[in-house]
Amino acid sequence: MTGEQVRDTTFLITSGGYDVTEVDDLLSSIAAELDVGRPVEPLAMNAAFRTRRTGYDVDAVDWFLGQFLFRPGPGELTEMSSDPWRGLDVVGGRFTRSETGGRAESSGWQSGMALWERYDEECQKAWEEFDQQAGTFLRLEWVGLARRELRSAEQHTIASMTYRRSDIFLGNHSVSEIGGQLSLNKEGFVLKSTGYAQSRKLVDKTGTPILYTSGINFERRAQASISFPDGRSLRFPVRGTHRANAIMTAVDESGNSVARYRMIRFSTGGSSRKSVEVAVHPSRELTGELMLAIMISAPCLRSYFSVQTGGG
């Protein structure tokens, strides 16, 4: 990215957003450093902004600055250039000033609304084209009050999770693809969940840690993450204006997309039900670990749009 491209960057205006002037000042500093070839990672890493009643969308700004912290090598750049998901935006809300006629979104109510309507249309289009991307498609459905099933595109159950008190019982299946057919081998085990819902450690029946969860997606802030004992991690940014057009992406520690999620409604037995459709990146093997991460993280899409209610 060049300094000129950074100067041309602006963001959607939302309630509880970052101070517009402070963000613009930082972007000007980053652009100046890029112009002379100096590193901008320290500026991006140490960024801190006050929040205002209205301001730049927090997740859009955070994601944009995060891109300066990931510098892929030549091999990774080659791989990224051939990635079938490379054109799929993980986080929306970022625009160029040239796209908006040079007007700052904070300059007026009508300008901000026009940009919001445009963003809403883009999100709806991306949602409608979700099933046109490459990858392995799955569906996560609730069965009763305490059981969640992960199913293949052919509606075969490949993993299930049942909640009982503080434990998670996972009926896990190892999956391999032979001649386009899924071969399933069941491996049942129990995962003990320790800690609060926002920060948990999941271990298997021998007590070996499998993964850790922290943070939540809530009030249009994507702060949920999953980490693994070997240092790998996933986070779950969301792009959308409401649940019906939102897409959540599982992104690894290197900024690569692993899976994408959308909420869908379908009819069965004369009734209408909701579920989460998941597309797994074509380069990713559908391991038991990944299936577990998908089942645990899927509710983060719905909770992203939840708001605090009731008294203090």
Of 9-13, 20-24, 152-156, 226-230, the poorest mean pLDDT is in 152-156
| Mean pLDDT, residues 180-184 | 40
pLDDT number for residue 249? 97
Contact present, 229 and 209 (Cβ < 8 Å): yes
Q: What does the pLDDT read at residue 265?
A: 81
Mean pLDDT on 82-91: 88
Q: How far apart are CA 134 and CA 28, in angstroms?
A: 38
pLDDT band at 189 (very low <50, low <70, confident <90, very high): low
- What's residue 44's pLDDT? 94
Q: Which residues contact 279 (CB under 8 A, 6 or more apart)?
A: 130, 131, 133, 135, 136, 137, 138, 259, 260, 261
Residue 183: predicted pLDDT:
41
pLDDT at 306: 92
Q: What average pLDDT is seen over the chain?
A: 83
User: Residue 32 phi/psi, 5° resolution?
Assistant: -65, -40
Residue 18's pLDDT band (cuts 50, 70, 90):
very high
Task: Give residue 197's pLDDT band: very low, low, confident or very high (50, 70, 90).
Answer: low
pLDDT on residue 283: 93
Confidence of residue 134 (pLDDT cuts 50, 70, 90): very high
State residue 144's pLDDT score.
77
Contact 221, 91 (CB under 8 A): no
pTM of this prediction? 0.84
Question: What pLDDT is recorded for position 48?
Answer: 94
Tell whether the model's pLDDT for residue 191 goes beyond 70: no
Name the residue with higher pLDDT: 220 or 205: 220
